[in-house]
Amino acid sequence: MDKINSLTGMPDLIGQKSNESNSSNKIFETEIALIKIFESYSLNEIRTPALENESLFNRSVGDSSDIVNKELYTFLDKNKKKISLRPEGTAGVARSIIEKKLDNETHRFWYLGPMWRYERPQKGRYRQFYQAGIELLGYSEGLAELEMISMILSINDALGIKNSKIKINHLGNKDAKDQFCEALKNYLEPFSSKLEKLDLDRLNKNPLRVLDSKSEQTKDILKDAPKMNEFVSKESLDLLNLIKNSFSEHNIEIDYSLVRGLDYYTGFIFEAISDDLGAQDSYLGGGRYDNLFSDLGGKKLPAIGMAIGIERLAEISNYSVENKTLISFIVLSDKIEQNAYKIAHEFRYLNNNIIIEVQLSDGSLKSKLRKANKDKADFAIIIGDEELKNKTLVLKPLKENDSDQKILSIEDAKKFISSLN
């Protein structure tokens, strides 16, 4: 029979108690840390479906983007309707708010979940990956930009990110963007024969995307190309300087060649990169998208947001969850011992800082203690028939030496558990 394998670029994430450096554990812990930060900024959670009509992504992320052009997972459903797995979260949030007629008020959202892009997998680049996103809806340019950068700095701080650089740029208003695209096109056209097919396609569909080229030859040609700052207004440039100066003690760089891979951006854009990541060095990105709601048939609702690549952030994170005391609860009895299980159940209510893992499997005391040690448990609690009869238990510290093992009454054990921190 054929072996069933996972799909390329779609890794399984498998947590493991005993192994702090397990990359899946780091991903789960990063998610927990991010949610705490989102709550501290008074954001509300929003969950939209993983599947949407394909047209949503054509009209938002844009058909000049690689994401829609080459990377969208699109299927016909049983009704022959074209549906896509979401490649990102912003479009679904906008669709949802327009559909519920909530596009006449402000919203502060966060979300977290899997996204899909049919990319060429490599380190830090997957076909199924996880993003945490933030969308601030109904806020015009100004303080919301500062709030975005403040959130990035809080994320860096909470996760102990060391080598972070935040790159910022401004795409100007529509006129400025159009004029810049025109100038770029005029500059690049004489070099057409030297551009790779991908860059040539980009030149025809959306010249801004050529600035994102990975080709060394194109990068060379771009050295003398017109720059965005020659086109955007004084207000836009002032905003960039204001943001940089507001957080002057942090590594924020104005980069006039920064562009984003999605079409909906209209003004301030940004990315955070880290040298510790290798080729896929951008661990978050976002910007302002003031036209998306009206482009999708909703009201004119100014908006700004960002998304964080969880795998990449986890890779450079130095965060570890608060150390809770792990107790391995071992019941040694031939029958199903519900009285012993009830003791474990009651212990859980005594202290929020403990984790109790009841060893549910059959096996000898020796094998269960081996498992407790493998899990790096702090204590084992052992209850057999004798202990149950006497209303006692054995408490065995696992991180100190064996002689410390003692027999406690259930009442004394409760006091001990309550005192753990």
Parallel, antiparallel, or unpaired for β 252-254 and 164-170?
parallel
User: Which residue is nearest to ligand HAM, using beta carbons?
Assistant: 309
Rounded least distance, CB 116 to ligand HAM, Å: 9
Segment near ligand HAM (CB under 6 A); pick from 22-30, 38-46, 306-314, 374-382: 306-314
Residues of the binding site for L-histidine: 88-90, 117, 131, 135, 260, 264-265
Rounded least distance, CB 164 to ligand HAM, Å: 13
Q: What are phi and psi of 34, to 5 degrees?
A: -65, -40
From 74, 282, 373, 405, residue interacting with ligand HAM (rule: CB under 6 A): 282
Which CB sits closer to ligand HAM, 9 or 384?
A: 9
Q: What angle do CA 118, 124, 127 make, to 5 degrees?
A: 20
Binding mask 252-281 for ligand HAM (x = CB under 6 A): ---------xx-------------------
Binding of ligand HAM at residue 347 (CB under 6 A)?
no
Task: For the chain, state the CA radius of gyration.
Answer: 27
From 27, 85, 98, 284, residue interacting with ligand HAM (rule: CB under 6 A): 284
Binding of ligand HAM at residue 138 (CB under 6 A)?
no
Comparing C-alpha atoms, which of 261, 29, 239 is closest to residue 141? 239
| Alpha carbon distance 325, 122 (integer Å) | 37
Which CB sits closer to ligand HAM, 172 or 285?
A: 285
Binding of ligand HAM at residue 283 (CB under 6 A)?
yes
The site for ligand HAM, by CB under 6 A, has a size of 27
From 25, 108, 111, 133, residue interacting with ligand HAM (rule: CB under 6 A): 133
Rounded least distance, CB 283 to ligand HAM, Å: 5
Residues 6+ positions from 328 with CB-CB distance below 8 Å: 357, 359, 368, 371, 372, 375, 377, 379, 380, 381, 398
Rounded least distance, CB 155 to ligand HAM, Å: 12
From 85, 152, 307, 413, residue interacting with ligand HAM (rule: CB under 6 A): 307
**Assigned token pair, 404:** 């410390």
The three-state secondary structure class of 39 is helix
Q: Which residues pair with 116 in a beta bridge?
A: 128
Number of Cβ within a 10 Å radius of residue 58: 19
Q: Where are the alpha helices (DSSP H) in 160-215?
A: 174-188, 197-205
Comparing C-alpha atoms, which of 400, 365, 364, 367 is closest to residue 381? 365
CA of 275: how far to CAs of 111, 190, 235, 354, in Å?
27, 35, 31, 37
Rounded least distance, CB 302 to ligand HAM, Å: 12
Binding of ligand HAM at residue 129 (CB under 6 A)?
yes
Binding of ligand HAM at residue 74 (CB under 6 A)?
no
Residues that bind ligand HAM in the complex, under the rule CB under 6 A: 88-90, 117, 119, 124-126, 129, 131, 133, 135, 261-262, 282-287, 289, 305-307, 309, 311-312
